[in-house]
Chain A
């Protein structure tokens, strides 16, 4: 069987779990890497302390790819500024674009996100935009130079799971870039479900960070993601969902 790699901007990863930002602690990063097998870890620049530029990297184990995000940005221009700052601090070329100017639901602004993606892709960043799952916006993001698309499952902090499931499925079906489900994944079963649908990876943080046993929950996510991925590759989910009836009640007459 062909090796199953997650490819983002010419970088290959074996793991399909990405640790989101939000609640950070050394324990969490340790658990995400050791027990969930994370190879990509999101970093919110706004959470780092003033003189701690070097410390950010100290926090992150060797061989792990940092994915700085632009949280705190309300416009495309602000996102670009934050992304450049993170690159200057030595956080690499990956960037997760987050443009939010809604303090209640924290829903991303697709229009500003597309603008930021275009500007950052031109600057040589590997851009992974966080977006509301809209097909037209996703196509624009592809054209703007995104390397992956990160639709939300539910509003941040809502713990509602895959509220946007049907629309994420459309992105998976129609967009040729990796679709990575971000936000709303509250349980391993939801991560598994996203992977069964054909998502390339899932991102989670709070679900693990606030678990009673962080390493155990990290491990549960790893297994759930692997199970979902295997199911997707096996094709079982699709056969069941799209109907496996052998007979042709309407067109059988053609054979006569």
Chain B
């Protein structure tokens, strides 16, 4: 039985039942982030970053700085060139499927948190199959399976069952579930999953502990090292994200990029992906402001990710509006969700459980597909083979 974790628990210390691995990457990311002063960068630094053939860490820092905002057009143009070189005109499509929203964490900004009185539910195997079948009929080949973070209610075996069902209907199976040990990732890989995304939310551990007051998520290093444990378990690709707006978004974006960069250097075969969520209104909590991450800043961050790691997949969430999404896939993002429903069981009928957040772009697969083609891009349903 795992020990109880509450706001008095040391958030930097693993509990006994957690797999502890080297902290080499975490230590370097935090050191880089702590040393980063975005205000010291000037227009000259930004110009140098734009002129550089290979984007260095220093260049990346300049691109994320306030000094880069006046150069947003040039930055977007450079990002677009890099995207075209590595991805051509391709845009991947996928949809998320929430199979459960039980959660044992107390994250004060999240609609799924364990103290929030929302309708909790979990789909059984038949319901999962029904949802997936319905989604597959839209032509999608990639699915992202999500749960709330409750190992008790949504066990590794339960998620594994969902992966096995998913393999029947989809070519690409990704996971956005609670962090687990390498052996569990290995099991889920066997069940058909090959991509794991974990949002660190914020890389500022002092801030992190004030936002994550209970549950396993409170343990910062266990979450931080999830991607590495996934790679160790045989997962092909890993995704990274900070929830922009929780803390200083420039530092968080830098840390997100550094995290991915160092992991890929350590595991050169690892495929890298970024997500770029901003805070959005949630059920029972409309007081959070997305701080200062407006669309220009979001564009700046996404382009900086692209220029820093030109080969990485970048996903654009349906939390963003259609106008932003339609444009960003022509600049830097390479993957877009379509036909999104973030409730539990919402694809086939009545939702059994509430949604985590509100989406902005509710367009269906056909609409997104046509939009991509209309913009001279090529919609791609799968670029992956399970081996």
Taking the complex as formed, is B269 at the interface, i.e. its CB lies under 8 A from any CB of chain A?
yes
Chain A residue numbers with a CB within 8 Å of B264 are: 103-104
Complex Cα spacing A46 to B272, Å: 18
Chain B residue numbers with a CB within 8 Å of A22 are: 88
Complex Cα spacing A242 to B171, Å: 53
B378 contacts A23, C-beta separation under 8 Å: yes
B87 to chain A, nearest CB (A): 8
B268 contacts A103, C-beta separation under 8 Å: yes
Taking the complex as formed, is B280 at the interface, i.e. its CB lies under 8 A from any CB of chain A?
no
A20 to chain B, nearest CB (A): 11
Chain B residue numbers with a CB within 8 Å of A49 are: 141, 171, 381-382
A159 contacts B311, C-beta separation under 8 Å: no
A101 contacts B268, C-beta separation under 8 Å: yes
Chain B residue numbers with a CB within 8 Å of A206 are: 88
B381 contacts A209, C-beta separation under 8 Å: no
The closest CB in chain A to the CB of B272 belongs to A103
Chain A residue numbers with a CB within 8 Å of B40 are: none
B89 contacts A72, C-beta separation under 8 Å: no
Taking the complex as formed, is A73 at the interface, i.e. its CB lies under 8 A from any CB of chain B?
yes
Taking the complex as formed, is B256 at the interface, i.e. its CB lies under 8 A from any CB of chain A?
no
Chain A residue numbers with a CB within 8 Å of B272 are: 103
A46 contacts B268, C-beta separation under 8 Å: no
A47 contacts B383, C-beta separation under 8 Å: yes
Question: In the complex, how many residues of chain B place their beta carbon closer than 8 angstroms to a beta carbon of chain A?
Answer: 28
A69 to chain B, nearest CB (A): 11
Complex Cα spacing A39 to B219, Å: 58
Complex Cα spacing A103 to B263, Å: 11
Q: Given A104-B268, A209-B88, A210-B88, do A46 and B141 touch, yes or no (CB 8 Å)?
A: no
Main secondary structure of the interface of A (DSSP, over half): loop
Which of A23, A100, A104, A157 interacts with B89 by CB under 8 Å? A23
Complex Cα spacing A45 to B385, Å: 7
Complex Cα spacing A183 to B113, Å: 49
Taking the complex as formed, is B117 at the interface, i.e. its CB lies under 8 A from any CB of chain A?
no
Taking the complex as formed, is B183 at the interface, i.e. its CB lies under 8 A from any CB of chain A?
no
Complex Cα spacing A48 to B171, Å: 10
**Range, interface on chain A:** 20 to 34
Taking the complex as formed, is B384 at the interface, i.e. its CB lies under 8 A from any CB of chain A?
yes
A103 contacts B387, C-beta separation under 8 Å: no
Complex Cα spacing A25 to B270, Å: 28
Chain B residue numbers with a CB within 8 Å of A157 are: 85-86, 310-311
Complex Cα spacing A103 to B311, Å: 7
Complex Cα spacing A210 to B309, Å: 21
Q: Given A104-B264, A104-B311, do A72 and B387 touch, yes or no (CB 8 Å)?
A: yes
A23 contacts B90, C-beta separation under 8 Å: yes
A25 contacts B271, C-beta separation under 8 Å: no
B85 contacts A50, C-beta separation under 8 Å: no
Q: Given A81-B387, A104-B311, do A46 and B382 touch, yes or no (CB 8 Å)?
A: yes
Complex Cα spacing A101 to B86, Å: 16
Per the 8 Å Cβ criterion, residues 46-105 of A in contact with B are 46-50, 72-74, 78, 81-82, 85, 100-104
A18 to chain B, nearest CB (A): 18
Binary per-residue interface labels of chain B (72-101) against chain A in the complex, 1 for a CB within 8 Å, 0 otherwise: 000000000000111011100000000000
A101 contacts B88, C-beta separation under 8 Å: no
A230 to chain B, nearest CB (A): 31
Taking the complex as formed, is A233 at the interface, i.e. its CB lies under 8 A from any CB of chain B?
no
A187 to chain B, nearest CB (A): 14
Q: Given A46-B382, A47-B382, A102-B268, do A73 and B86 touch, yes or no (CB 8 Å)?
A: no
Taking the complex as formed, is B380 at the interface, i.e. its CB lies under 8 A from any CB of chain A?
yes
Taking the complex as formed, is A236 at the interface, i.e. its CB lies under 8 A from any CB of chain B?
no
A101 contacts B269, C-beta separation under 8 Å: yes
Chain B residue numbers with a CB within 8 Å of A72 are: 384-385, 387
Per the 8 Å Cβ criterion, residues 197-224 of A in contact with B are 206, 209-210
The closest CB in chain A to the CB of B88 belongs to A23
B70 to chain A, nearest CB (A): 29
Taking the complex as formed, is A143 at the interface, i.e. its CB lies under 8 A from any CB of chain B?
no
The closest CB in chain B to the CB of A79 belongs to B387
Chain B residue numbers with a CB within 8 Å of A159 are: 85
Q: Which residues of B contact A (CB under 8 A)?
A: 84-86, 88-90, 141, 169-171, 236, 264, 268-272, 309-311, 378, 380-385, 387
16 more A-B contacts (CB under 8 A) besides A50-B141, A82-B385, A157-B311? A23-B88, A45-B385, A47-B382, A49-B171, A72-B384, A72-B385, A81-B387, A101-B268, A103-B270, A103-B272, A104-B309, A106-B311, A157-B310, A159-B85, A209-B89, A210-B84
User: Shortest 10 CB-CB distances between A and B: which pairs?
Assistant: A101-B269, A46-B385, A23-B88, A78-B387, A72-B385, A157-B86, A157-B85, A102-B268, A103-B271, A46-B384
Q: List 7 A-B contacts (CB under 8 A).
A: A73-B387, A74-B387, A82-B387, A100-B269, A103-B271, A157-B86, A210-B88
